[in-house]
Amino acid sequence: MLTQVDVEMAEFGVSPRHGFLPDELPLRRLSDPYYSSWEDIIGCLPDLLKRKTLRSRVNTLPVLSTSHLQNLREWQRAYQVLSFLTHGYIWNSAEGEQRLPPSISVPFLEIASYLGLPPTATYSALNLWNFEAATPETDLSRIENLRALHTFTGTEDEEWFYLISVAIEAHGAEIIPVMLNAMTGIRTKNSHLVLAALVKFGYCVREMGAILRRMNEKCRPDVFYQQIRPYLAGSKNMAVAGLPKGVFYDEGDGQGEWRQFSGGSNAQSSLIAFCDVVLGVEHCDTKDSGSKNKFFQEMRNYMPRSHRTFLQRVEDMASIRDFVAAQKSVPELGAAYNFAVDELRKFRDIHIQIIARYIIRPSKQYAPKEDTGRNLAVASSTKPDAELHGTGGTQLLPFLRQSRDETKNTALG
């Protein structure tokens, strides 16, 4: 283990104020008129999707160059815009569209490569870079202070769904430097510093859970299940929705490639991954308990490259769990650690409750409407609970329960 690593958060695009959210508010629009055709379409996206005219509009677009993107915020904005256009284009019909035209494919592949992300609608596009606030000083952990930049449906329900995640990310930002300091403090066996950090972590995660519970306030389960969720699906394991090979990213002149991606998922949150890393929570494959869970490892590739590198660096720091286990003369330290673990377990329990209300129950109540897309609605409607799949592509309840139980089992005896 490397125990001499001090992590400079800003180096990895992690904000001292906002955590994995950008330090500056996301751009509302690309200012260069060269990209006005993209901005014009996303500005009326819900209406185009409702009228089933998005594909015809996109098919008339020229293939724009990325050479006019000047800074990181512009690259992120371009990625976000093309993420929404991609999923809108694919899922705006009874069956998914198998071909993505060059007007999206060519620039999207370049932009995604630049950011170290897959060319699909990730957690970054839907949440981290999809909000606005009155000022940069606004408290981003208060949902009432936020607005979503874009939605597929134009509903308050979808906006609220995204902003819950933004507020959780903003609130959780405060524990990142706290836990990094605690890990650094292990070098000097500073038990008091580690104990205080673990207590802070536990209460912060408890408050993150309280934010997650607020999903019920303005996001209706039927609207989420029937109108919003179909657009969040990926192109992986979607044969039932008419995508047996995924989506062909057409690059023109007969060039291109079939690609399959998971949809947007909370497993792509660098904050939740950070919580697991600092507490030493290990997620394993069900078939091989000694190997890391392939889905969690794959979801790292759906995080911005700099965030992935940050998490790898944190993994190389001293283990809080090992340190606490060795300090048997300080029983309060073990209690604080177990308190932190239990709050993270409770957070995952709340997530399971949300899934039950927004996916499991509606899957039994609603037959999929043809005009909402066949993807997850059809895939969910005929399967028992244990076989329902999430937007990330995993079996929903078994995956979430295993993650919850693995968190619980991290506690020290």
Which residues contribute to the annotated binding site?
A: 351
Sign of CA dihedral 383, 407, 118, 78: positive
Q: How many domains does the chain have?
A: 1
Which residues, other chains included, contact 242 with Cβ-Cβ below 8 Å and sequence gap of 6+? 95, 96, 98, 374
3-class DSSP assignment, residue 78: helix
Residue 26 lies inside a defined structural domain of this protein: yes
Residue 382 lies inside a defined structural domain of this protein: yes
Q: Specify the pLDDT at position 391.
A: 54
Output the DSSP codes for 88-126: HHHHSSSS--SEE-HHHHHHHHHHHHHHT--SS--HIII
Residue 190 carries which side chain, given as an amino acid letter?
A: N
More confident residue, 180 or 4: 180
Is-contact 80 149, C-beta < 8 A? yes
- Domain containing 199 equals 11-408
The pTM of the full predicted model, rounded to 2 decimals, is 0.92
Output the DSSP codes for 163-182: HHHHHHHHHHTTHHHHHHHH
Label residues 393-411 b or e (16+ Cβ within 10 Å = b). bbbbbebbebbbebbbebb
Residue 2 lies inside a defined structural domain of this protein: no
Asked if the model's pLDDT at residue 372 lies above 70, the reply is no
Confidence of residue 4 (pLDDT cuts 50, 70, 90): very low
Q: Specify the pLDDT at position 298.
A: 92
Asked if the model's pLDDT at residue 31 lies above 50, the reply is yes
- Of 129, 181, 151, give the one whose Cα is nearest residue 20: 129
Q: Tell me the per-residue pLDDT of 58-82, one tens digit each, with 9 for 90 and over.
A: 999 999 999 999 999 999 999 999 9
Distance, in Å, from the CA atom of 370 to the CA atom of 349, rounded to the nearest integer, reads 33
Residue 5 lies inside a defined structural domain of this protein: no
User: Given the structure tokens 């394993």, which residue do they identify?
Assistant: 284
Is-contact 190 160, C-beta < 8 A? no
Residue 79 carries which side chain, given as an amino acid letter?
A: Y
Asked if the model's pLDDT at residue 374 lies above 70, the reply is no
Distance, in Å, from the CA atom of 139 to the CA atom of 35, rounded to the nearest integer, reads 31
Distance, in Å, from the CA atom of 352 to the CA atom of 357, rounded to the nearest integer, reads 9
**Which CATH number is 318's domain given?**
1.20.58.480
Q: Tell me the per-residue pLDDT of 120-177, one tens digit each, with 9 for 90 and over.
A: 999 999 999 999 998 878 999 999 999 999 999 999 999 999 999 999 999 999 999 9
Report CA 155 to chain centroid distance, whole Å. Answer: 20
Is-contact 67 34, C-beta < 8 A? no
- Of 255, 230, 207, 210, give the one whose Cα is nearest residue 93: 230
Residue 385 lies inside a defined structural domain of this protein: yes
User: Given the structure tokens 């996001």, which residue do they identify?
Assistant: 219
Sheet of 255-259: strand order equals 99-100, 247-252, 255-259
Distance, in Å, from the CA atom of 238 to the CA atom of 243, rounded to the nearest integer, reads 5
Residue 263 lies inside a defined structural domain of this protein: yes
Sign of CA dihedral 355, 360, 361, 363: positive
Residue 274 lies inside a defined structural domain of this protein: yes
Which residues contribute to the annotated binding site for heme b?
A: 351
Residue 6 lies inside a defined structural domain of this protein: no
